[in-house]
Chain A
């Protein structure tokens, strides 16, 4: 690993023992992984970072805000984001960067050579880079918190009683399978508790229905049936209807209605309630 173009001492120092340094670095950083990432993934990541760091150092710059460090910063931002999503703490994240210091110190010590001035420069540079990860880590944490509260909101989807014996559950937003399953279980429980015999699942607010969500819907309708209740699915919008047909999902003999109002009318009739217009009302 020789690169004759630049004569930067620090870059040369790192480059000269690249493999040994990286191996030690990965070894040190791996202790904080605790199974959330494999060592091979870590190795790939740190190797990539090492290469761009050495490139940046070889320009002679020691300021991480310089253009020379643009790639290094982007890589660290990515790394911090991934760590935050995988549930690493901020110090576990920064340790990945700081561990390179220790690897370099050890190397210098073992060699007994005089690279100390370089090492001090490297040390403060890596401190800066470590702090950079903190910043992006906390940004991602904030994003995650917002996302989670949005998802919570969707989880609170209520089962509402529209009429004696008629329950409805309006589904809204992005349905993933976990959320669909929770809502469906709540509906079945509510059917048992209330003894209602009609249920309406309204999907007017749903953005997409994939096979997994459809499967949850189908299972719920079947389960409700076994419990003596009839389910109607309402609010299947045109784009969703076309997609369901494209996927090849068959809803069989399940009653579907265009709107929640139509579904309610249907449910009331099935429940034996007559809905009639008053005779003296103007037509």
Chain B
């Protein structure tokens, strides 16, 4: 459940200040993984969007954040998991400016532009999981 190096952590997303906590964790991992300041800021912002969606639309859930590595580089991966209503029309949800609430409708599409890898799985009535990865250069 907790890995020794503190390189992976799961945080609940139930309240407003949990979003801040997720953001702080992502920033600290991004620094450990030696991401540039620009990449850190992009990743932190993307995860802020996704955590906020988990809270607002997914009815809460968890964030699973870890430092990852391949042969050449390190990076940070973060998953946002909820068991909320799911997204009926994914294409619509990715449309710049479209919101079912009162947002700017740029969270999903914007987050996808800010990271290196983006994966969304969703099922109506079951929930939504979004996983993003940002690699160091």
Contact = CB atoms under 8 A, between A and B. Distances in A.
Q: Please classify the interface of chain A as helix (H, G, I), strand (E, B), loop, or mixed, using the class held by over half of its residues.
A: helix
Contacts of A272: none
A157 B16 CA distance: 20
A98 B59 CA distance: 32
B17 A176 contact: yes
A174 B20 contact: yes
Given A207-B41, A207-B44, A178 B106 contact: no
B61 to A, nearest CB: 12
Size class of the contact patch on chain B: 20 to 34
A248 B113 contact: yes
A174 B106 contact: no
B5 interface: no
A74 B1 CA distance: 9
B19 A211 contact: no
Interface stretch (B45-53, B72-80, B118-126): B45-53
A240 B114 CA distance: 12
A34 B47 CA distance: 31
A248 B45 contact: no
A243 B49 contact: no
B110 A239 contact: no
B37 interface: yes
List 10 tightest A-B contacts by C-beta distance, closest first. A247-B110, A239-B41, A210-B48, A239-B38, A211-B104, A246-B114, A208-B45, A243-B45, A208-B44, A246-B113
25 contacts: A82-B12, A151-B17, A174-B24, A176-B17, A177-B16, A207-B41, A208-B41, A208-B45, A210-B45, A210-B107, A211-B104, A211-B107, A211-B110, A212-B48, A212-B52, A212-B103, A215-B104, A239-B38, A239-B41, A240-B41, A243-B45, A243-B114, A247-B110, A247-B113, A248-B96
Interface of A: 74-75, 78, 82, 85-86, 147, 151, 174, 176-178, 207-212, 214-215, 238-240, 242-243, 246-249
